[in-house]
Chain A
Amino acid sequence: MTRLFAKLRDRIGTLAVSLIAWLVLIYLVLPLAVVIAISFTTTEYLAFPPVGFTLRWYQRFLADPSYVASILLSAKLAFASTVLGFLLGVPAALVLKRASFKGIRFISNLFLSPLILPAIIIGVGVLQITDALGFARSFPAMLVGHVVIILPYIVRTTLASLDGFDMSLEEAAQDLGASGFATFFYVTLPMIKPGIIAGCLFGLIMSWIDVEVSIFNTVIAESPIPVKVFNYVQYSVDPMIAAVSAGTIYIAFILVFLLDRLVGLDKVTGQK
């Protein structure tokens, strides 16, 4: 009897946890679903639930050269900063894992520290340094700032993938006569690839959605898409901006899908 009672109580407990979890999950997607729904409304104002179905708002935003230019700028910025972050971050992580000298812990922490520093302060700092170097509020200024904020993601995931890496495999390859480069490209790289891909995709996303760094380092006329939407939303909201926003949600979905396909979502988020 008591065992039956205990079992029942456990079941109710599990049920309660599941229920709360799903409510939280609904809370997480509701606003995104609402933005997507609204982007199809036939009304001139934001209507929820949407009235009718039209792709007019998507047409209107895609016909607006300033929005298209913003999206292209954002894409260019995200790709350029990811490539630069990759070129700087992966070699740094490789050396950090192997080398042993005084201060290596400090340097490791330095590479990860932009993650815990308020992004707005990084944005302000980049404005100061690029001003001093003579390229303030330009594409290169945003670029160097974005590299700073995404570098920790790339370094961290590369380091993490090196954690489970059996160094004797490299030694074996070299004992069998492989050169340093051959060892890296045929042994090391394939094994740490998931970590690098995850880091780069995270970097790509963080650059793509950044406002705090971009807003200090751009001019209104040429702003990345999040900044452009931000400036717009502060004064008015309409179905056209919902379509723009929905567009960024579709892109997020594609990136999540890519992460799942290429790396596996549980690996990306540091599980197992």
Chain B
Amino acid sequence: MRINRFWAAILLGIPLIYLVVFFVTPLGMVVVDSFSNKAGEVTLENYAIVLGDPYYWTVLGYTLWLALVTCVATLILGYPLAYYMSLIEQRRFVKRICFILILMPLFTSNIVRSFGWIVLLGRDGLINQGLLMVGIISKPLRLLSTEVAIIIGMIYVMLPFMVLAIASVLQNMNASLREAARDLGASAFTTFLKVTLPLSVPGIVAGTLIVFTLSISSYVTPRIMSGGRSVVSSMLIYDQFMLVFNPFLGSAIAVVLLVTCFVLIVAYTLILERKQPAR
């Protein structure tokens, strides 16, 4: 169906204007604000504060570290699940159950999911009860509002994204390549290592990128799991906008976070491209 120029311009133009007004312009405003102060002057003082105070560096560092840990952990946990789903190709019913179990948490708010962990990690929660029963510990551990709780919560929230990204690549992989390797005498493990794993790299890349960017801006999970202390950048941004009412400093923190995220992603993709021979 050919669409004439006039209709094409309207059908694409309106959505485009919408994006420019409510997405591009707001981002521009955040950037402009980050260079402004209450008096409306152009200034670098927000950046002087954000970049000059070790506290902000610590928070940014922790944010990046948390995102990295989440990435690695979801990859380790998510890959076997995604791989398993590609193995049960014929068992449609089992596969459907897998999908339901993966999508259920994804379709539930982060808050509800974190709430589940509050119960599990609580003083009388399932984890403590289990550990006490087995006899590993003699009195309940303090698990809530700890580093461990934040990491468990983050991994939990991000895992479905990683599984889906890898699964979609593994599913679309040409099965005859694996069969050929097996027919030529490779063991299942060698086939996995030499054929499946290298071919699934695009899925790993997509998954780690999604998980990393989502983790970096994650607000709800760290806030609930940490018991409310400011530990990640998004909380500082929230505090500046909604509690301290200093959108200028808040914008500067947001821009620093955005630029860091952008630089890391570009570096990551560049390194991968260099490693991957041109196809």
Contact = CB atoms under 8 A, between A and B. Distances in A.
B172 A31 contact: no
B254 A209 contact: no
Nearest to A121: B254
Contacts of B163: 24
Nearest to A188: B1
B1 A183 contact: yes
Interface stretch (B37-45, B48-56, B102-110, B271-279): B102-110
Interface in B233-263: 234, 237-238, 241-242, 247, 250-251, 254, 257-258, 261
Interface in A26-44: 27-32, 34-35, 38
Contact of B241 (A94, A124, A259): A124
Q: Which residue, of B33, B104, B114, has the highest number of chain A Cβ atoms within 10 A?
A: B104
Q: Which residue, of B24, B103, B250, has the highest number of chain A Cβ atoms within 10 A?
A: B103
B195 interface: no
B109 A9 contact: no
Nearest to A95: B12
B156 interface: yes
Contact of B234 (A120, A148, A170): A120
Contacts of B118: 233, 237
Chain B contact residues: helix, strand, loop or mixed: helix
A126 B26 contact: yes
A125 B27 contact: yes
Chain A contact residues: helix, strand, loop or mixed: helix
Contact of A99 (B12, B80, B188): B12
A213 to B, nearest CB: 11
Interface in A247-272: 248-249, 252-253, 255-256, 259-260, 265-266, 268-272
Q: Which residue, of B29, B115, B217, has the highest number of chain A Cβ atoms within 10 A?
A: B115
Interface residues of B, number: 92
A14 B30 contact: no
B140 interface: no
Contact of B30 (A128, A167, A174, A266): A128
Contact of A249 (B104, B122, B164): B104
Nearest to B26: A125
Interface string A186-197: 011000000000
Given A17-B80, A21-B85, A230-B224, 7 more contacts: A9-B189, A14-B188, A30-B116, A31-B115, A95-B12, A129-B22, A259-B103
16 contacts: A24-B80, A24-B163, A46-B122, A88-B18, A91-B11, A91-B14, A111-B19, A116-B209, A117-B258, A124-B250, A126-B22, A147-B22, A174-B1, A212-B219, A256-B103, A271-B171
Interface of A: 6, 9-10, 13-14, 17-18, 20-21, 24-25, 27-32, 34-35, 38, 46, 48, 88-89, 91-92, 94-96, 98-99, 107, 110-111, 113-114, 116-122, 124-129, 132, 144-145, 147-148, 151, 167, 170-171, 174, 180, 183-184, 187-188, 205, 208-209, 211-212, 215-216, 226, 229-230, 233-234, 237, 241-242, 245, 248-249, 252-253, 255-256, 259-260, 265-266, 268-272
